[in-house]
């Protein structure tokens, strides 16, 4: 296989992705577990000083007395336990004190195997590459393996949100106490859970905020004019020091006029008499829900369909909202554009929280606090908006319009009770992981007769989500669901060929076939889906059909992140997709490249473009045509580049550039470093085949992220003074001949994190002994395991970031 084909076949291994493919977060492997939340590294918007709590807990974590093995943080929901644990986890003293750390979110839906595997992946580099083997191990062997890995290390493990004593009983044998100073930090709402874990310890009861602290937190969310300060302080008193209540009320007030009448109405609607703690905060949350306009209420309630603890993919959520019909087109704005506005408004109202953020600052995932999720479930049930089914759920008739299945039961008899009313049917598989492309499943197969039942009875379905469910084949009755707008088949076990009846789904807007690894053929029926907006293939189809698909009717298409080049381009189908925002074409011949470039230059809405050449003999011409793509922000090119255009001939708003097998020369770097808005540059395998690399003064003035991946010829790298003035994150991966870190990197004031992977032992030794002490504005924390050396710097502040 040629290098071009190697990168094209395994783009995720080289950092090449369309917008919809998950980026590997340099901070932590946690970001790859999209079903876990929250990330221990995510930063929050609202800050308040709680230095006393931090100092007290730090002293407990850093003591080497064996009797203080467990440190607990106890408090009600919404008080900020996770935020405080996150602050401690990232504290420089903790990073330097412990040899390894792990963070796992437990929640009410605790599964022992998941927790053990998550800890292993954090503390043992080899376990990340043994996903399949770990999956096959019995739980007790997982316990023994984790015990063995931790036995010789001073470790810290965070168990976030433990609900029951049985959780600790099932995990404690995995945590050795041989190494002095190892710690377990757990957060829980229950005092008895903390004492059960360690009866000799003194659990830290997280206090509520003082009135002044509460007022300060409220001011961070909403501007308070002097004439309303008195009312604001009365509202603060009503919130009784609960951060979640303060943040949600702040979001509500920020949408109100700055008038005493409206603020007084908010104050009067917070009634506290005769209410218990949880009822009090529920009343505040309900107040904010009632203030939502009707269109936002539907969007908020929809979040209740997702399992607790799930980090919800933003793009998927917005596509579901559109399919549900929540988002009317307003003027020239697309429904997706309206969806983005609605999402931002819910974030602004603090009804949902930002999870992962992309390298360019875009919201990739969101999450919902469990108390707010409880609110969405209760309101959704009242309004017959949704119903959740678990394994133990009674089979009662339901009039709910949306059914969400959180179960591994293979019977699904209960579905017959809701078929006539249901518009949406979503299956959520919480028992598969997606770790660096390795997939395994626990769902029982949805057999064909069960799918036939769904397709025959649920005639009015608009949404069918089967993400991660083991479906071997689709029966022809799928074509009976003519109202379907969204069909999610991602990570199913589909084999062979899709049924031709799929072409009956003329109202379909989203067809998600990503990671269908066993699906080899696609019939020539896609052209019938004239309303299709998002065609997510990702897996290449290796039959002749893939090159002869008819796609010329897809004039509404916005997302086509992965497709092989073929006759469909020659037939003019690409030219008719002028609404595309995301496009990725692979296996391009040299003759076809110019045609594609000439076509896409007229795509005014194009934001992301990936082009991959078929062979090493082919090459990209100068791509001046792309200067016409004024909204293009992400560009990935895989293949030889004859000559780079001048900086003013690049897309004018280019933010991210990824190059692989480009065979660039020195003069090309001089052009790249003058791109005025470039924030992220990835030079991947074969992108630069010269021994010396130089970044000049004033070069890369806006660059935040730089990744050098498998530049096999690179030996010397220099960074001049005043180059890379805004660089924050740096990755060096497999540049085996590189002798040392550039001196210019060591004095960068903006640098926050460096990660180094797959470098020779000699390089690691020089880094440890010579380079690390010379970094002036970073305090590297070095973790070395086998051939991996990660050098990271964590940002520390005396302020506590509230995640509530």
d(CA 62, CA 376): 41
Question: How far from each other are the two terminal CA atoms of the chain, in whole angstroms?
Answer: 50
Tell me the two tokens of residue 583. Answer: 């496009």
**pLDDT digits 0-9 by tens, 720-758:** 999 999 999 989 999 999 998 898 888 888 888 888 888
Per DSSP, the residues of 313-324 read: EHHHHHHHHHHH
pLDDT for residue 315 is more than 60: yes
CB 512 within 8 A of CB 537: no
Within 8 A by CB and 6+ apart from 59, the residues are none
The fold for domain 294-382 equals Arc Repressor Mutant, subunit A (1.10.10)
Of the candidates 1, 8, 126, 90, the residue with the CA atom closest to the CA atom of residue 660: 8
Backbone angles phi, psi at 584, to 5 degrees: -135, 115
pLDDT score at 247: 85
| Buried b or exposed e, range 475-498, using 16+ CB within 10 angstroms | bebbbbbeebbbbbbbbbbbeebb
Higher pLDDT pick, 215 / 274: 215
pLDDT of residue 1: 43
Instruction: Please list, in sequence order, all residues whose beta carbon lies within 8 angstroms of the beta carbon of residue 342, skipping any fewer than 6 positions away.
Output: 295, 296, 299, 321, 326, 327
Contact in structure between 388 and 406 (CB atoms under 8 Å): yes
The answer to whether the Cα torsion of 88, 91, 96, 102 is positive or negative is positive
Please give the DSSP secondary-structure letter assigned to residue 417.
G
Percent of the chain with pLDDT over 90: 40
- Confidence grade of residue 520 (pLDDT, cut at 50, 70, 90): confident
Burial of 648 (0-12, 13-18, 19+ CB in 10 A): exposed
- The reported pLDDT for the residue numbered 34 is 31
Reported as a pLDDT band with limits 50, 70 and 90, residue 300 is: very high
Q: How confident is the model at residue 26 (pLDDT cuts 50, 70, 90)?
A: very low
Dump pLDDT digits (tens) for 143-189: 998 999 898 889 999 999 898 889 999 999 999 887 678 999 999 88
Contact 568/551 with Cβ under 8 angstroms? yes
As separate numbers, helices (DSSP H) first and strands (DSSP E) second, the chain gives 24, 36
Mean pLDDT of 272-290: 67
Angle at 751 between CA 364 and CA 691, to 5 degrees: 100
Q: Compute the distance between CA of residue 92 and CA of residue 802 in angstroms, rounded to an integer.
A: 19
What pLDDT was estimated at residue 422? 85
Confidence of residue 191 (pLDDT cuts 50, 70, 90): confident
Residue ranges per domain, the chain?
A: 26-205, 211-290, 294-382
To the nearest 10°, report the CA torsion of 247, 248, 250, 254: 140
**pLDDT for residue 684 is more than 90:** yes
Q: What residues have CB less than 8 Å from 795, skipping those under 6 apart?
A: 90, 752
Question: Is the model's pLDDT at 398 over the cut of 90?
Answer: no
Give 26-205's CATH code, choosing from 3.40.50.2300, 3.40.50.300, 3.50.50.60, 3.40.190.10. 3.40.50.300
Residue 107: DSSP 8-state: -
3-state secondary structure of 426: strand
pLDDT for residue 67: 66
Name the nearest CA neighbour of 319 among 465, 126, 441: 465
Residue in 21, 32, 24, 5 with CA at minimum distance from that of residue 660: 5
Joined tokens for residue 635: 């560009």
- What span, in angstroms and rounded, lies between the C-alpha atoms of 374 and 551? 44
- The H or E element spanning position 704 is none
Reported in sequence order, the residue ranges of 230-288 that DSSP labels E, i.e. its strands, are: none
Q: In 15-156, which residue ranges form alpha helices assigned H by DSSP?
A: 51-62, 81-89, 92-97, 112-123, 125-128, 131-136, 139-150
Residue 229 has pLDDT above 70, yes or no: yes
Architecture of domain 211-290: Orthogonal Bundle (1.10)
Residue 377: predicted pLDDT = 94
Beta bridge partners of 663: none
Please say whether the beta carbons of 739 and 716 come within 8 A: yes
> Residue with structure tokens 């309630």?
301
Q: How far is Cα 636 from Cα 250, in angstroms, rounded to an integer? A: 41
Q: Flag whether pLDDT at 635 surpasses 70.
A: yes
Pairing mode of beta strands 800-802, 70-74:
unpaired
């Amino acid at each position: 296989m040629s290098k071009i084909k190697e990168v094209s076949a395994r783009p995720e291994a080289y950092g090449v992705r369309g917008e919809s493919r998950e980026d590997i977060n340099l901070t932590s492997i946690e970001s790859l577990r999209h079903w876990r939340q929250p990330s221990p590294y995510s930063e929050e918007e609202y800050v308040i000083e709680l230095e006393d709590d931090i100092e007290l807990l730090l002293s407990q974590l850093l003591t080497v007395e064996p009797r203080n093995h467990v440190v607990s943080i106890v408090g009600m929901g919404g008080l900020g336990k996770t935020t405080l644990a996150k602050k401690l986890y990232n504290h420089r003293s903790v990073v330097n004190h412990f040899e390894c750390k792990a963070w796992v979110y437990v929640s009410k839906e605790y599964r022992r195997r998941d927790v053990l595997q998550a800890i292993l992946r954090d503390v043992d580099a080899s376990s990340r590459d043994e996903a399949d083997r770990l999956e096959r191990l019995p739980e007790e062997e997982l316990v023994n393996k984790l015990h063995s890995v931790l036995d010789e290390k001073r470790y810290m493990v965070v168990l976030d949100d433990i609900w029951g004593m049985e959780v600790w009983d099932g995990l404690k044998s995995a945590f050795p106490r041989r190494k002095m100073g190892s710690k377990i930090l757990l957060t829980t709402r229950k005092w008895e859970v903390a004492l059960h874990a360690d009866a000799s310890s003194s659990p830290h009861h997280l206090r509520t905020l003082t009135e002044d602290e509460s007022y300060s937190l409220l001011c961070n969310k909403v501007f308070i004019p002097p004439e309303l300060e008195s009312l604001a302080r009365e509202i603060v008193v009503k919130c009784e020091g609960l951060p979640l209540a303060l943040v949600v009320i702040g979001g509500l007030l920020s949408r109100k006029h700055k008038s005493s009448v409206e603020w007084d109405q908010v104050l009067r609607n917070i009634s506290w008499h005769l209410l218990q703690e949880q009822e009090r905060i529920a009343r505040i949350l309900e107040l904010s829900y009632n203030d939502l306009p009707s269109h936002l209420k539907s969007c908020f309630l929809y979040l209740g369909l997702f399992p607790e603890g799930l980090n919800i993919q933003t793009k998927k959520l917005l596509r579901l909202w559109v399919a549900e019909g929540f988002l009317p087109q307003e003027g020239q704005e697309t429904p997706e554009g309206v969806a983005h506005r609605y999402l931002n408004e819910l974030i602004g109202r603090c009804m949902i929280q930002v999870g992962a953020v992309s390298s360019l600052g875009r919201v990739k995932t969101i999450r919902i606090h469990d108390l707010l999720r409880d609110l969405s479930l209760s309101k959704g049930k009242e309004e017959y908006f949704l119903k959740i089914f678990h394994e133990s759920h009674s089979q009662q008739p339901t009039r709910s319009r949306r059914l969400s299945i959180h179960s591994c039961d293979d019977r699904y008899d209960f579905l017959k009770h809701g078929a006539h009313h249901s518009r949406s049917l979503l299956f959520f598989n919480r028992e598969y992981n997606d770790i660096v492309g390795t997939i395994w499943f626990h769902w029982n197969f949805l057999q064909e007769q069960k799918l036939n039942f769904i397709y025959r009875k649920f005639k009015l379905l608009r949404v069918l989500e089967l993400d991660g469910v083991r479906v071997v084949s689709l029966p022809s009755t799928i074509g009976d669901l003519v109202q379907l707008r969204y069909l999610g088949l991602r990570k199913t076990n589909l084999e062979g060929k899709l049924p031709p009846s799929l072409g009956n789904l003329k109202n379909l807007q989203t067809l998600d076939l990503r990671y269908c690894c066993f699906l080899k053929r696609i019939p020539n029926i896609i052209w019938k889906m004239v309303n299709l907006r998002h065609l997510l293939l990702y897996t290449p189809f290796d039959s002749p059909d893939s090159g002869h698909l008819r796609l010329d009717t897809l004039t509404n298409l916005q997302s086509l992140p992965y497709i092989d080049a073929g006759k469909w381009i020659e037939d003019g189908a690409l030219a008719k997709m002028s609404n595309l925002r995301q496009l990725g074409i692979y296996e391009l011949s040299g003759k076809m490249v110019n045609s594609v470039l000439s076509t896409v230059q007229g795509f005014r809405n194009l934001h992301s473009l990936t082009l991959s050449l078929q062979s090493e003999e082919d090459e990209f011409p100068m791509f001046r045509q792309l200067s016409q793509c004024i909204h293009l922000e992400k560009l990935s090119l895989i293949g030889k580049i004859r000559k780079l255009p001048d900086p003013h001939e690049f897309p004018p708003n280019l933010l991210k550039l990824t190059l692989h097998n480009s065979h660039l020369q020195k003069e090309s770097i001089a052009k790249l470093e003058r791109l005025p808005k470039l924030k992220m540059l990835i030079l991947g395998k074969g992108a630069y085949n010269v021994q010396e690399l130089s970044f000049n003064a004033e070069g890369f003035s806006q660059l935040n992220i730089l990744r050098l991946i498998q530049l096999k010829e690179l030996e010397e790298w220099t960074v001049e003074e005043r180059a890379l003035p805004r660089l924050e994150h740096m990755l060096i991966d497999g540049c085996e001949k590189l002798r040392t870190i550039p001196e210019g990197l060591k004095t960068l004031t903006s640098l926050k994190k460096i990660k180094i992977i797959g470098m020779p032992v000699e390089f690691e030794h020089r880094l440890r002994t010579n380079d690390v002490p010379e970094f002036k504005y970073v305090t590297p924390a070095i973790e070395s395991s086998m051939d991996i050396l990660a050098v990271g710097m964590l940002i520390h502040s005396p302020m506590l970031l509230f995640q509530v």
